[in-house]
Amino acid sequence: MIKVGVIGSGSMGSGIAQVAAAAGHEVVLFDTNQDALEKAMKKLQKILARLVEKGRIDAATSIEIFDRITPASSLNQMQGSRIVIEAIVENLEIKKSVFSQLEEICGDDCILATNTSSLSVAAIAAACKNPNRVIGLHFFNPAPLMPLVEIIPAIQTSDAITKETRGLVDSWNKITVLAKDTPGFIVNRVARPFYGEALRIYEEGIADFATIDWAMKEIAGFRMGPFTLMDFIGNDINYTVTETVFAAFYYDQRYRPSFTQKRHSEAGWYGRKSGRGYYDYAEGGEMPIANENKDLGDQIVWRVLVMLINEAADALFLNVASKEDIDLAMTKGVNYPKGLLAWADEIGIQECVDGLDDLYNEYLEDRYRCSPMLRRMAKSGNTFY
């Protein structure tokens, strides 16, 4: 088995370390903060103990997995790794600094991977003298539970590195999809309207948080409504990703952030972790009651869904990923009830185009422009599948 290096012992880094160790690899987990590293190792021990209690693994396997992970206080301990996965703060300059250091430490055949969710892989690779071995490897949190990993080759990444990396991650019992190095890759790009359009519906006074969540969960079949999910992710994190994607797309109006979310983030109303978000999670806090009017619910679902379909179609139009990988990413990465392109076929492409045109004609905002792919498909009578 090969040696795997992981940089960053936060929930993502330690989760990736657990995945690699469970696959039988020797793992070196590095963090500049020794306290954080010690806490991560203790937390990992508890997680493995819980898996034993639940009967998912036996005690001997739990010990083997834990013993395969070595906490490291020096980057030099990454020597001899076949792959090093960086999972640190989303700051381009810090990541570039780490990658240029790694290049001096690791052998020429070591794959250097970044777990960035929104930064340019090409920009990170540019920090290296040999950028063709740098690749994006975007796991979803929690890494041991979420099956999807987005594989993102930069324009500098060699085909051999892409193939080897995908094969390795596939061997870890993960579902991999290949994405172009564009802002948000597949999931964080295509999912923007799930939050953005829900916030817009609220801001227009059409429905409150609870009603929108009820409609998306009970009528559309999503596992969580957008406001419950934003509170779960954290409004600080979700808002930052939205801002990053908006700026990265040269301020395309489709990705414009919401003042409602900005104010919640500024107020420290991050969601579950702060005790208050769109909902009150404090002890004794009451959850609001949704207006379960079916017509209103259908209106909400249609508006969010047609915007999601439009985003998925545009990602395909611009060759971000294949239609299969786009649908797979949304069902396995964020648990959507159906692939959005398959859903579009089910609804009818012409109906999706008409719905988007109705919104555009009402608002005259570029936000609601229909993807050329949907329009061409409606004209020719084609379907995605």
- Catalytic, out of 9, 81, 115, 117: 117
pLDDT confidence tier of residue 111, bands split at 50, 70 and 90: very high
Query: pLDDT tens digits for 229-269?
Result: 999 999 998 998 899 899 999 999 999 999 999 999 999 99
Domain-wise residue ranges, the chain: 3-178, 189-380
- Catalytic, out of 86, 103, 150, 197: 150
Strands 134-139 and 69-72: unpaired
- Catalytic, out of 62, 115, 188, 310: 188
- Catalytic, out of 81, 103, 120, 138: 138
pLDDT confidence tier of residue 118, bands split at 50, 70 and 90: confident
pLDDT of 284: 86
Quick check: is 117 catalytic? yes
Report yes or no: 139 and 156 within 8 Å, Cβ to Cβ. Answer: no
Strands 26-30 and 3-7: parallel
Which residue spans within the chain are E strands per DSSP? 3-7, 26-30, 69-72, 83-86, 111-114, 134-139, 148-153, 175-178
Quick check: is 138 catalytic? yes
What is the CATH T-level fold of the domain 189-380, as seen in this structure?
A: N-(1-d-carboxylethyl)-l-norvaline Dehydrogenase; domain 2 (1.10.1040)
Report yes or no: 200 and 212 within 8 Å, Cβ to Cβ. Answer: no
What is the CATH T-level fold of the domain 3-178, as seen in this structure?
A: Rossmann fold (3.40.50)
Q: Same CATH topology for 3-178 and 189-380?
A: no
Query: pLDDT tens digits for 179-220?
Result: 999 999 999 999 999 999 999 999 999 999 999 999 999 999
Q: Between the CA of residue 230 and those of 176, 194, 271, 276, 378, what are the distances in Å?
A: 25, 10, 7, 12, 34
Quick check: is 33 catalytic? no
Stated length of the chain: 385
The span from the CA of 103 to the CA of 76, in Å, is: 11
Query: pLDDT tens digits for 27-74?
Result: 999 999 999 999 999 999 999 999 999 999 999 999 999 999 999 999
pTM of the predicted protein model: 0.94
16 φψ region: left (φ > 0), alpha (ψ -120 to 50), beta (else): alpha
The span from the CA of 212 to the CA of 278, in Å, is: 12
The span from the CA of 42 to the CA of 103, in Å, is: 30
Quick check: is 173 catalytic? no
Cis peptide before 337 (omega within 30 of 0): no
